[in-house]
Amino acid sequence: MSARFTAPRGTNDFSGPRARRMLAVLDTARRAAERFGYDPVDTPIFEASEVFARSIGEDTDIVSKEMYTFQDRKGRSLTLRPEGTAGVVRALIEGNLVTSGPARLYYWGPMFRYERPQAGRYRQFFQFGVEAFGEAGATADAQTIHLLREIGRGLGLSDLSVVINSVGCPGCRRDYGARLVQTLRPRASDLCPDCLGRLERNPLRILDCKVVRCQEAHVGIPSILDALCAPCRAHHDALLGHLSDLAIPYTQDPRLVRGLDYYTRTAFEVRIPGHEGAQNALGGGGRYDLLVEHLGGRPTPAIGFAIGVERILALLEQVGIDPIPLGAPRVYIASVGVRARARALVLASALRSEGVACTLDGSDGGFGRQLRSAHREGATLALIMGDDEVGRDTVALKNMAAGTQEETPLGTIVEAIQARLAVLGAAARGEGTHA
């Protein structure tokens, strides 16, 4: 008896309309990023473990609990990327990608975190991310947040709420951390064991703890927004002004530190309005002005974000939005008989080289069965070719939606199909065909 295999826990297969929707999301995001001047970048899905540990931070849940780390045959410690920023920064430094001007890069691909799987939280998930290097001004922050909203708008999700905060610079954080420790030390018995350690090593991380009794102990803690140094305060105020200039509504949340240690100043998330659950962040990001230097590069300010593609898909499905196009109109060629099959094969090739999507039945079934397949595949037009028709140099052209059929000369069939598809496409877009 053969074993029945299932996908590993916390992973997803994508097929049918979901697979197409996923590509449509990536395509919408990519086109928006290109409008903002971003170029594609692609980095390996595994890196030396140290790249992530140094970037994301040893005290984060990601590094301390969630990394897929393994040794290769030479004993090197490698990790499947839990996020994209660290690898892009490594590539930027290695390839000397910031030379004379800013570098703006976008990427997508699978990320891996050993989390407890639940709706919206997986062990392999897709991100689309952008990273802009070399721009320290608050206009860069505003444009980055604007791009994230534009991606939402392109997908038909116009009312995503933007939550922002500033986590300051190491100076502000030192001062704020001291105030936080002062407030929380008397409540130490209410904190979880992880946070007790964080109290000593990395107090800001406490704000990101998911343990309920820890969160309850946070009541009345000071706000980091009250502890910003003058330059960080000015940067934050300038950003708030630019968001208003761009008419982007936002709320501020001084507890938003996000689950990664590399952020400085701006941190933000885009959430689904009205969904307050833990998995309501569709995307998030922030500034990380010290990371490039920290990984061995020249000091380079940077800012970026990543969106979670599965979460976007789930929301689109929930609100009933399909980010079309679900595939180009397709022509299906049904043929029966040796000569007809041979002509069909050549015709399919001619159509495809003209850019027309076309499928040719390869199962040697009868017309009835082939036309059922044409329906199932959602073909717009079907060509019906038997040896008799081919002998007369004609072919029957069927409009699948209308069910109408007409005899058409084989010699001009490619042009006839293109003309029909143009008319059908215009009708589907709601454009009139009369003058």
Contact 35, 151 (CB under 8 A): no
Q: Which two tokens stand for residue 213?
A: 């009794």
CB of 193 to ligand HAM, least distance (A): 23
Nearest to 410 by CA among 435, 425, 392, 398: 392
DSSP 54-75: HHH-TTSHHHHH--EEEE-TT-
Contact at 8 Å (CB) between 322 and 316? Answer: yes
CB of 232 to ligand HAM, least distance (A): 18
Q: Tell me which residues touch ligand HAM (CB under 6 A).
A: 83-85, 113, 115, 120-122, 125, 127, 129, 131, 258-260, 281-286, 304-308, 310-311
* CB of 21 vs ligand HAM, minimal distance in Å: 16
Continuous segment of H or E residues that includes residue 335: strand 330-336
Residue 364 Rama label (left phi>0; alpha psi -120 to 50; beta): left
Number of Cα atoms under 13 Å in the Cβ half of residue 318: 11
Which residues on neighbouring strands pair with residue 144, listed in sequence order? none
Cα 214 from Cα 211, distance rounded (Å):
5
* Three-class DSSP category at 223: coil
Helix, strand or coil, per DSSP, at residue 312: helix
DSSP output for 153-191: HHTT-TTPEEEEEE---HHHHHHHHHHHHHHHGGGGGGS
DSSP structure class, residue 296: T
Question: Which strands, in side-by-side order, build the sheet including 281-287?
Answer: 39-40, 103-112, 124-133, 302-308, 281-287, 266-271, 161-166, 250-252
Nearer to ligand HAM, 153 or 352 (CB): 153
